């Protein structure tokens, strides 16, 4: 990669894997749909420079589910970073998802971009909350960034998505998060999962991006929650050295629709 080439980032989120690869969730084999997503990712040329796994990687919280994930991701040989979601077992995933190319690091630099990965998991709660320690860490990291462009990733959505049930499970202290982010013009993108649908909204100078799950999809703005019939997907982001960027969602048409 030459210095002027954009970074290519792939976001994969909400894989909801089980210990048993053939087990289904709401009519879909989550391992099968993830494999379909990864097969599509392998066709992308050039290959991504980095993969971000943004939570709810397991559905049953077993070591075997994370071992399955590692067995599917590692052969890609792409540097991969992760954060937990409300369905994850953090001690177990931290133990298993720590072997190259998968890294437990939560702050890293690629090109002229800084990546900051936050855990928004609140024990015993489907909604999210950033702890005081996480907020202090974020502020401290941003103070040291200099003029590098910043992407922040977390699992829970900080902006409401007009879905009553999902918005009851969003980031509950989003105002504290915004109070920090708003002070740093270097922050360009906030990336999240959790909502199982595509989302793109501007707030100030920051773009907030939600990304489809690799398994079931939720119909936007539905109440009660309705399963969408569109295929699973993932997000690609091209990050230029000057801090500009563009993004698109790729979907996998061959994956079976949910029941």
CA distance 171 to 129: 5
Q: Could you list the residue range(s) of the whole structural domain that residue 131 is in?
A: 7-251
In the prediction, which pLDDT does 222 show?
A: 84
Residue 221 lies in a domain: yes
Span 146-158, pLDDT tens digits: 999 999 999 999 9
Query: What mean pLDDT do residues 113-131 have?
Result: 96
How many domains, the chain? 1
- Band of residue 53 on the pLDDT scale cut at 50, 70, 90: very high
Q: What is the DSSP code string of 147-159?
A: T-EEEEE-SS-SS
Residue 235 lies in a domain: yes
Residue 1 lies in a domain: no
Span 24-50, pLDDT tens digits: 999 899 999 999 999 999 999 999 999
Residue 87 lies in a domain: yes
CA distance 102 to 82: 8
Strands (E), the chain: 7-12, 24-25, 28-29, 50-54, 80-83, 102-103, 107-110, 113-117, 149-153, 187-192, 199-203, 206-210, 217-218, 227-228, 233-239, 245-251
Residue 11 lies in a domain: yes
Span 222-238, pLDDT tens digits: 888 889 899 999 999 99
Pick the closest to residue 156 from 170, 143, 144 (CA basis): 170
Residue 257 lies in a domain: no
Q: What is the CATH number of the domain that holds 93?
A: 3.60.21.10
Extract the tokens encoding 13. 């989120």
Residue 259 lies in a domain: no
- pTM of this structure: 0.95
Rounded to 5 degrees, φ, ψ at 41 are -60, -35
Residue 53 lies in a domain: yes
């Amino acid at each position: 990669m030459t210095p002027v080439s954009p970074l290519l980032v792939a976001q994969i989120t909400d894989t909801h894997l089980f210990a048993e690869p053939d087990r289904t969730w709401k009519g879909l084999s989550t391992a099968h749909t993830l494999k379909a997503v990864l097969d599509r990712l392998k066709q992308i040329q050039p290959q991504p420079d980095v993969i971000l796994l943004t939570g709810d990687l397991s559905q049953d919280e077993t070591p075997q589910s994370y071992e399955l994930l590692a067995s599917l991701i590692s052969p890609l040989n792409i540097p991969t970073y992760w954060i937990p979601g409300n369905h994850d077992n953090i001690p177990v995933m931290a133990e298993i998802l720590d072997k190259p190319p998968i890294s437990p690091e939560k702050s890293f630099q690629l090109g002229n971009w800084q990546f900051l990965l936050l855990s928004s998991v609140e024990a015993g709660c489907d909604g999210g909350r950033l702890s005081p320690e996480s907020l202090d860490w974020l502020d401290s990291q941003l103070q040291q960034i200099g003029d590098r462009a910043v992407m922040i990733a977390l699992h829970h959505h900080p902006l409401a998505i007009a879905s009553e049930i999902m918005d009851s499970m969003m980031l509950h202290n989003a105002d504290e998060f915004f109070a920090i982010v708003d002070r740093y013009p270097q922050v360009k993108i906030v990336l999240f999962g959790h909502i199982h649908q595509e989302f793109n909204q501007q707030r100030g100078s920051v773009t907030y991006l939600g990304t489809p799950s690799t398994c079931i999809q939720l119909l936007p703005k539905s109440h009660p929650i309705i399963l969408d019939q569109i295929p699973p997907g993932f997000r690609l982001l091209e990050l230029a050295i000057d801090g500009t960027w563009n993004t698109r969602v790729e979907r996998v048409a061959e994956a079976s629709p949910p029941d």
